[in-house]
Structure formats: C-alpha cells, structure tokens
Amino acid sequence: MRSFLITLILVFVAGLAFVWGWGLDHRMDYLSRDYALLTGKDCLIDGYSKSGLAIFGDSAVLDGIQPEKLGPGVINCGMMGSTPIESYFLIRRLMKAPVHPKAVLLSYNAYHLVHPDFYWENTVKFGLISGPEADEVLETIFRLKDKELISGTGLWNLDQRLYSFLLSRGFPPYYVSSLYADAPGVRKKDNEEALGVIAQTRGQYYFPLQDGSKALNADTKLKTFTVSPVIDYYFRKTLDLLKTENIPIYFYVMPINESSVPHLDSGVFKAYQDYLNGLAQEDSQFHILSTFRTVYSWKLFSDYAHLNEKGTLRFNREFAKILNKADVPGGPYGVLVH
C-alpha cells in the first residue's frame, strides 16, 4: 500500500509538472487575444533599437495612436486596462535596451487611475509582469492597504499571497476555462494574427470597428476621484525613474465621445485635473499636453472609448500637430502622413 501511494504521488507530481510546463510554453494556443497583444508589446520593447517617442497607456491608446502616422521612432505600448503599474515595469525593461527613448508619453483615463480592474486577470495571469515583480507589487498592495487590489482576507493575507504566487507562476487550474473557450487551434490562429498586427503597426490595434457609438465612457461611472494608492505609487516611481534617466515625460488625455460629456461628474473631472497638475508641479520634466478633454462626435467611435478607423485617422493628424507644437523630442511628427 505504501509503495502504491508513493507511486501515485510521483505520477501526480510528474503529471502536474508536465501540464504546468506545457501551459507556460503554449499560452498562445489557448489564452485570449489580450495575451497576444501583451506579448506583442513585450516584443516591441525587446526589439527596441530606434530612439524616439515611446507611448504607454490604456486601450484607448492601443486603439487610437498610430505610430506609422506619427514617425519612424514611435512605438505604442498601450494595453487593455493598463495603469501606471504595468507601464512602470515595461518602462523599467525599456531602460535596459541598447538605446533609450527620447521622450515618453503616458495616457490613462480617470477610471483607470481609480480602478486597476485588469491587474489580476490580465497583468498577472498573462505574465506581463514576472513572478518576482508580482511579489513586489503584492507587498506594495499590503503596505499601502489598497482595497482596490485586495480580494481576500485572512491570517497574514495568506490566501491573497498564495493566489498571487500561483497565478503569477502559471498554476494550471487558473487556466482551465481558457482551454475550453474555443475549439482547439482557433485561439492560436487569432493570437498569431494579432501578434503580427502589433509587429506591423508598432503597437496599434483596432477594436471592433462600428461606424459610431453613443455608449458611455467608463469615466461617467465615477462619482468621486480617489487614486488607487498603488497606482499613485507606481506613477511616481515611473516619473522618478525617467527623471533619473533624464527623459522628459508627457501626458495626454485621449478623446471622449460627445454622448458621454453630459454624464461626467464635474467634481471628478476637476480632481483628475488637479491630480495631474500636482504631479507636473512636483516634477519639471512632466508635461501635460494640450487641453484635458478633447470631445469628438460619437460617429468617430467604435464603442464607449475606442475610436473607429475614421476617428483614428483624424486624431493622429491632430495629435501630430500637438506633439510638434510642444516640441516633444523625437519629432517632427506626422511627416509620413500624405
């Protein structure tokens, strides 16, 4: 009986090790498109060789900023639900490249400074940050008591620590649902196509291209503006890191559709402005570009936040002028637009 139990345990351990290893090596085969998009941004950073403007932000950036229309030295590292947490670790990796960017541009809507709701499901689960980096963030979460990122309670936060550790190391049970989401091979094909688009466009990726949308922007959900303590911490760490490297930082607020404007809380909008202006006053290398809120017709959006093709083409023409007017290093911008 004892030898049988030992054999059973060894078979189980070997099987778990095989499944665990296979899962980590074949994530393009079964994870969602978001994983491929995040992987594409890692590839952009790993292959960074032409100094210019590096742009980081949320999915409005991922969809709306076209490096090909702005200039040869521009890369778009925007991602789904990205916050300064993700941007900090990507920028930290970028600083290890043979060349550094001439400038960095950041862009997050107000909602993503308050609610980092993609952190566990995308950032950690998809391995955007490594296991040790996830451990580092977790300690910051506990130290700052950030309720937005603490999903469990218990003695010494053991359940949260175990969840973060296993999720960030690709523990197989957390990925079972992804294996059955689509027929075998479907996600691999879609993910390879998405990865190819990211490589071709230097980071830009369109979302479903509806011909107009009156859906309300996520910022309309906010009734108060209280920045997540962990987001604030990594925002400031990002500014400090780039200041050390003597790289200027710029911030731009992506356009919002006209349908959302009447539903925005004026107090939230002012607090959002005050927060960013406060950072600019503290750091002479941090600059806020243009106006805080650019309003476009709902006809130029594909959903609640993302520009459609017509909106993106218009925005990049206008954005190039904004970058040039501010003398953002890496320009002139828009020289490739015909």
Residue 285, in any domain of the structure: yes
- Residue 297 CA: distances (Å) to CA of 61, 124, 294, 300: 18, 36, 10, 6
pLDDT of 170: 84
Residue 265, in any domain of the structure: yes
Domain that holds residue 166: 26-325
Compute the average pLDDT of residues 164-193: 78
pLDDT of 182: 67
Residue (of 118, 116, 117, 111) closest to 269 by Cα position: 111
Residue 11, in any domain of the structure: no
With contact defined as beta carbons under 8 Å apart, do 32 and 175 qualify? Answer: no
What is the rounded distance in angstroms from the CA atom of residue 89 to the CA atom of residue 127?
12
Residue 266, in any domain of the structure: yes
Tally of structural domains, the chain: 1
Neighbours of 73 (CB within 10 A): 20
Residue 18, in any domain of the structure: no
Name the more confident of 136 and 22. Answer: 136
Residue 259, in any domain of the structure: yes
pLDDT band at 213 (very low <50, low <70, confident <90, very high): very high
pLDDT of 23: 66
Residue 138, in any domain of the structure: yes
Average pLDDT over the chain, rounded to whole?
A: 89
Residue 333, in any domain of the structure: no
Q: Which residue has the tokens 């950072």?
A: 279
pLDDT band at 337 (very low <50, low <70, confident <90, very high): very low
Compute the average pLDDT of residues 14-33: 72
CATH code assigned at 63: 3.40.50
Neighbours of 41 (CB within 10 A): 23
